[in-house]
């Protein structure tokens, strides 16, 4: 049976502060990074401090000697983690990263018109809240520590706490239904995400995760989007392309009259300025109208005569 008081070189009447101070001093002296020959001694003083540095374990040790059957057993009990002090020993305090709840991810489907207009939306979802008790098995940590052996070496391994599903709440926590209203930014791209800070799942002793909304834009039957540009394609008769005429476009802002000029080159789109989407800099893109000429499926004898006569004109030679 090991005498932890002798290992640390202190008396049985030593105070908690004296034990901690002694451990700090010895750890600095025998830490493997400082003293490659001191690894065995370092493990001994670490084991000793893990017992004597915890009031309950120390009382149990004083009552029945070495109160634990193995080094693994002492790590299964709650108590101070001697490794938390290493940062202080070498002049830098180790920063403990604050626990954070998991994010909630949902997909919201919107139309291309809604993407253009930037409407208000509302989503409903369930999330774990922080208004209940910590898990008694992991004490709200969300993980269970155990010792793993690797040959002659042993290390502490964190495993997921099944009792609380890793969130630190009693029985895994309670769910709360929430409804959130928000604005869809005009011109948002397909696949872009919107993040609501602190609206995700809670975690015991930490901060709530986020709500992440993934935007899915469904195709529009009339329009196509290319960056900030809005694309509209329509068919028109070849005579209308030559003579010019007016067409009506079912634009998102309302019906839009567009005049097709005389002798329009259908290979080049018509451009209507600032009738497209907002870009990332706040400027509006343009609407491009692509015209596809159509030919009649049949000709009457009278139409053939007219076309034959038209061929004789100077501009149709």
| Confidence at residue 149, expressed as pLDDT on a 0 to 100 scale | 66
Homologous superfamily (CATH) for 223-312: Urease metallochaperone UreE, N-terminal domain (2.60.260.20)
Cβ contact 193:212 at 8 Å? yes
d(CA 190, CA 115): 9
Cβ contact 104:209 at 8 Å? yes
Q: Where is average pLDDT lowest: 79-93, 100-114, 205-219? A: 79-93
| Cβ atoms within 10 Å, residue 7 | 18
* Domain 104-218 -> CATH class: mainly beta
Regarding predicted confidence, which is higher, 80 or 163?
163
Q: Where is average pLDDT lowest: 165-174, 248-257, 270-279? A: 165-174
Assign a CATH topology to domain 4-89: Helix Hairpins (1.10.287)
Domains 104-218 and 223-312 alike in fold: yes
Q: Residue 307 half-sphere exposure, CB side, CA atoms within 13 Å? A: 9
Q: Where is average pLDDT lowest: 83-87, 133-137, 155-159, 288-292? A: 83-87
On the 0-12 / 13-18 / 19+ scale of CB atoms within 10 A, 187 is: buried
What's the predicted TM-score (pTM) here? 0.57
CA dist list (Å): 234 to 242, 286, 288, 290:
16, 17, 11, 6
Q: Where is average pLDDT lowest: 39-43, 68-72, 211-215, 289-293? A: 68-72
d(CA 209, CA 103): 5
pLDDT band, residue 131 (cuts 50/70/90): low
Task: List, for residues 233-266, the tens digit of each pLDDT value.
Answer: 999 999 999 999 999 999 999 999 999 999 989 9
Query: Any idea where the domains of the chain sit in the sequence?
Result: 4-89, 104-218, 223-312
Q: Where is average pLDDT lowest: 76-85, 91-100, 151-160, 308-317? A: 76-85
């Amino acid at each position: 049976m090991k005498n932890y008081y002798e290992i640390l070189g202190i008396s049985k009447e030593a105070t908690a502060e004296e034990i901690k101070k002694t451990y700090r001093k010895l750890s600095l002296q025998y830490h493997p990074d400082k003293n490659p020959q001191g690894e065995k001694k370092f493990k001994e003083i670490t084991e000793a401090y893990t017992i004597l540095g915890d009031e309950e374990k120390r009382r149990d040790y004083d009552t029945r000697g070495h109160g634990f059957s193995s080094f693994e057993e002492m790590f299964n009990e709650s108590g101070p983690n001697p490794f938390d002090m290493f940062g202080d020993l070498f002049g830098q305090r180790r920063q403990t990263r604050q626990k954070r709840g998991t994010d909630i991810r949902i997909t919201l489907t919107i139309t291309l018109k809604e993407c253009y207009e930037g409407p208000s939306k509302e989503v409903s979802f369930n999330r774990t809240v922080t208004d209940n008790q910590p898990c008694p098995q992991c004490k709200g940590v969300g993980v269970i520590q155990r010792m793993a052996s690797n040959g002659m070496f042993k290390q502490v391994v964190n495993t997921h706490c099944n009792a609380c599903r890793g969130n630190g709440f009693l029985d895994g926590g309670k769910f709360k239904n929430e409804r959130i209203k928000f604005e869809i930014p005009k011109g948002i791209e397909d696949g872009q995400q919107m993040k609501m800070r602190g609206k995700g799942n809670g975690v015991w002793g930490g901060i709530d995760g986020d709500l992440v909304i993934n935007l899915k834009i469904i195709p529009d039957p009339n329009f196509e989007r290319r960056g900030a540009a809005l694309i509209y394609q329509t068919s028109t008769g070849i005579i209308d392309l030559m003579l010019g005429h007016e067409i009506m476009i079912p634009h998102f802002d309302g019906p839009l009259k567009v005049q097709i000029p005389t002798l329009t080159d259908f290979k080049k789109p018509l451009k209507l300025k600032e009738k497209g989407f907002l870009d990332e800099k706040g400027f509006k893109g343009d609407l491009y109208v692509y015209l596809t000429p159509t030919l009649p499926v049949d000709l009457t004898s009278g139409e053939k005569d007219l076309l034959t006569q038209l061929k004789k004109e100077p501009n149709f030679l």
